Amino acid sequence: MSGCGACCRLDPERRPEALEALDADERTLYLSMVGPDGWCRHYDTGGRRCRIYADRPAFCRVEGLAVRFGIPAVERDAFAIACCQQQIRVEYGGRSVERSRFDRSIRRS
């Protein structure tokens, strides 16, 4: 969902499960992307967009998330949706505009 960015909050203290799922090289890259405020240094917080979207690392791509965690194919969409909902709730709140927009977008698909 464009304009959300909840997953761009990379603070390793808030996302230890993300680090655990990465190999050593990916972990190094991930940690190099964490800005002083915990947001990805490539995320434009004002414009709420990724400045490297087309070239973002594999671990930033939703489609590979379920595979990385070993989720069976039939459960991957539900897993990805649940991950997004959880991250949006953590960053913006369960009743946030972002959560409402996300919920509307998944109902339409």
pLDDT digits (tens, 9 = 90+) for 32-82: 999 999 999 999 989 999 999 999 999 998 878 888 888 999 999 999 899
C-alpha Rg value of the chain to the nearest Å: 14
Q: Which residues contact 79 (CB under 8 A, 6 or more apart)?
A: 65, 66, 69, 71
Domain borders along the chain are 6-108
Report the mean per-residue pLDDT for the chain.
91
Query: pLDDT band at 92, cuts 50/70/90?
Result: very high
Q: Which two tokens stand for residue 1?
A: 């969902």
Query: pLDDT band at 26, cuts 50/70/90?
Result: very high
